[in-house]
Structure 1
Amino acid sequence: MATTEAARAATPRVAVIGAGGWGRNLVRNLQELGALHAVVEVDPDNLREVEAICPGVPTYTDTTEALADPQLDAVAIATPVITHYQVVRQALEADKDVFVEKPLTSDRDQAWQLVELAEQRGRLLMVGHLLLFQPAIQWLRDDLAAGRIGTIRSIHQERLGLGRARDHENALWCLGTHDVAVQRFLLSGRTPDQMQVSGQCVLQPGIEDDVYLHLGYGGGLQSHLHCSWLWPEKRRNLVIIGSEGMVVYDEIHQVVTHHRKGIDPGLNNVDDGAETIYQGHGQPLRLELEHFLDCLRHGEPCQSDGRFAAGIVDLLDEATKRLRNA
């Protein structure tokens, strides 16, 4: 990266672009971390909220003006997904490092264009796949790699509830992005070679409120995701079936349970009980932004970089095309 050693040693100066509901969370955390340099927001009501959170921090209504500040090191973008390509590109072309909320874009070609631009410019591009920074997910990845449940046979994910319906993206893009990212992270970036997807448009034509995504990997591993914002109960579960046991991650309560259960070669049930092997709530947004700042300081690659995120856009884009052609 083109960042000097002197700049790396100091706390990076970051501007938040987009200070709506989630953007203000970025503002608040970066302010507490001593990294907030400016805020860009066009809505007057949102700007008043920002001024209450961080009085005295410079604010802009024009992104170009903010990016022209030579003291600015990086930006954190929380604008609508449809604007990500334009805003990220503008920041990279201004030679700023970038953190942008997930998904990177809603178009695979645009996602890879941004990855290539960041690499050409020598800039950091990190995408905010928040669940990767839940301490339980970090712990679970290491535990699976250590072989607690043997060879992974299948992965089952649920992200369900009576949520806020969108009019511009389906439940897979809105909700399933989280789980696809977690799956890719736990499997160390493995790429599926099989895909089946189905969905139902209940509330609006062309927008699936309920989606099932089934993926297959080499060696017989399969994954199954169900996501819906039209569901009576809130569920956030991950179940992983292995050759030597099973684990269940309850995202709502941040608990990982190991089940010593299975079926032996003689088709006999085995049940040696279960135990909680991880429990604890973290602050994933704070941890995510600390990771971003550390990567800026030390010039190191980040955990959810542009290539990781563009791979997720690839998968979601292909699944959406199959839904449309079903």
Structure 2
Amino acid sequence: MKDLALIGAGYWGKNLARNFNAIGALHTLCDASDEILSSYGPDYAQVKRCKSLDEVLADRAITKVAIAAPAHLHFQMAQAALLADKDVYVEKPLCLDLAQGQQLVELAANRNRILMVGHLLHYHPCVMEIQRLVSSGELGRLQYITSNRLNLGKIRQEENALWSFAPHDISVILSLVGGRLPQEVRCVGGSYLTEGVADTTLTTFKFEAGVRAHVYVTWLIPFKEQKLTVVGSQGMVVFDDTRPWAEKLLIHRNYLTWTDGRSPTPNKVTGEYLAVPEQEPLKQECLHFIECCQTRQKPRTDSAEGLRVLQVLKAAQESLQHDGDARQPQKMLNESASNFYAHPTALIDPLARIGKGSKVWHFSHVMANAQIGDNCNLGQNVVISPGVVLGRNVKVQNNVSIYTGTVVEDDVFLGPSCVLTNVSNPRSQVNRRNLYEKTTIGRGATVGA
């Protein structure tokens, strides 16, 4: 039955469109770009096109929506669709804010709607076989999991490599440990191309019973690697998604011999390729969503699973911002409730940090990785760029712009309409993004008053 609308028909949306159309579910393509909508050829002749989300939500012929829009739009689009009593598939991540993620979980439950997150690897036959091997005990006691997702590109400036690449791997790792959250997360990384946006991150996880894991992601490596390795006491399995299908899944059984029960000796035996059915994971994911909507069964990657992944991502991001300090994902939900005030018209990036007692007023914008201390006051129409640091008790009056590279220490007063820029001689035709100048305003200073 054609009753699904795809919201966001561009970069990744094209893959979803192809699959939902192939299984006979696609009713409407919705995208703000005329160019993107017109790029769909004769295979989509019977599919409606529109540019308005409101038009989609008002159409009673549409009972399901799939959201492939930028991540910062996931919450508002998913919320609107659930309130319109649509079942919802949303690409990873569920959203960017834990409190908002919790709202979506509760909203879907209260309105008896399906809410599924696009954690694609759960629908890959190789990953499903690994999950079976672990749960059946064929690998023995689970010990260690590694996941590397490396490439040169696609380089992003709106989100870092952790949020762009790692959600799939984190989701799979959590499934292999029974859905439990790690006791501890640590994350380190580096920003080399865009200040404040990590191009590479290494995240480590400590679980109960001594299980450990790591996820290494980067778009700044001159080769492609997508490899998941699971180590158990009686076997190791490697999933290499860059290999031909017949060589993607390799198992090493009984890789150790114990002498006198105390001294391990490696058994250097050739691994065994495991045969798994060749199926497109994305198609299986789309079919699963349709099936769940029809039967009302809980999706394999439901909103609760998406929220757990979001908790781990949030913990990793906080650790990354504190140079690898340990964070506990279990505490993230409790700490996600806002301890500052933001006017409804203010725009605050989920990756920004705002201290207790601070206030952000009308039409102000706090961007990713900005750090606002306790008891600060940001007036109307204030812009805080990525990576800016404000200390405690900083007063920022209306119409102030503070650009990347600025550090404002405690108790500073910034008067109305002052601009703290980072380029001495800006020119429209010259890109000086990598030449931003640093500015530090000392404690207790007054500027522009």
Tell me, what secondary structure is at the counterpart of 2:121? Answer: helix
* Structure 1 residue ranges without an equivalent (≥5): 1-10
Cα distance in 2 between the residues matched to 1:145 and 1:124 = 26
8 Å Cα contact 2:185-2:319 kept in structure 1: no
Cα distance in 2 between the residues matched to 1:170 and 1:319 = 12
Cα distance in 1 between the residues matched to 2:94 and 2:257 = 41
Q: 1:51 to 1:41 in 2, by over 3 A?
A: farther
Indicate yes or no: 2:320 matched with 1:323. yes
Tell me, what secondary structure is at the counterpart of 1:119? Answer: helix
1:1-326 equivalences in 2 (<5 Å): 11=1, 13-253=3-243, 254=245, 255-260=248-253, 261-262=255-256, 264=258, 265-271=261-267, 273=269, 274-279=271-276, 281-326=278-323
Q: Which protein has greater RCO, CA pairs closer than 8 Å, 6+ apart?
A: 1
8 Å Cα contact 2:130-2:237 kept in structure 1: no
Cα distance in 2 between the residues matched to 1:173 and 1:239 = 21
Q: 1:268 to 1:186 in 2, by over 3 A?
A: closer
Match of 1:3 in 2: none
Q: How many residues of Structure 1 are paired with residues of Structure 2 in the alignment?
A: 316
8 Å Cα contact 1:105-1:111 kept in structure 2: yes
Q: CA deviation at 1:272?
A: 5.7
Q: CA deviation at 1:306?
A: 0.5
Deviations 1:39-62 (A, max 9, x none): 111101111123544013221111
Which one has the largest radius of gyration?
2
Cα distance in 2 between the residues matched to 1:93 and 1:311 = 23
Residue type at the aligned position of 1:262? L
Residue type at the aligned position of 2:172? V
8 Å Cα contact 2:186-2:320 kept in structure 1: no
Cα distance in 2 between the residues matched to 1:289 and 1:191 = 27
8 Å Cα contact 1:161-1:233 kept in structure 2: yes
Residue type at the aligned position of 1:257? L
TM-score with structure 1 length normalisation? Answer: 0.93
* Structure 2 residue ranges without an equivalent (≥5): 324-449
Cα distance in 2 between the residues matched to 1:268 and 1:316 = 36
8 Å Cα contact 1:12-1:73 kept in structure 2: no
Deviations 1:41-98 (A, max 9, x none): 1101111123544013221111111211112111011111111111111100100000
Q: 1:280 to 1:232 in 2, by over 3 A?
A: farther
Cα distance in 1 between the residues matched to 2:184 and 2:311 = 14
8 Å Cα contact 1:12-1:297 kept in structure 2: no
Once structures 1 and 2 are overlaid, which stretch shifts more, 79-88 or 273-282? 273-282
Q: CA deviation at 1:244?
A: 1.2
Q: What is the aligned-residue RMSD (CA, Å)?
A: 1.5
Relative to its length, the structure with more helix (as a share) is 1
Q: CA deviation at 1:266?
A: 3.0
Residue type at the aligned position of 2:321? R
Cα distance in 2 between the residues matched to 1:124 and 1:145 = 26
Moved over 6 A (4+): none
8 Å Cα contact 1:150-1:242 kept in structure 2: yes
8 Å Cα contact 1:157-1:239 kept in structure 2: yes
Match of 2:343 in 1: none
Identity %: 34
Cα distance in 1 between the residues matched to 2:317 and 2:25 = 38
Tell me, what secondary structure is at the counterpart of 1:167? Answer: coil
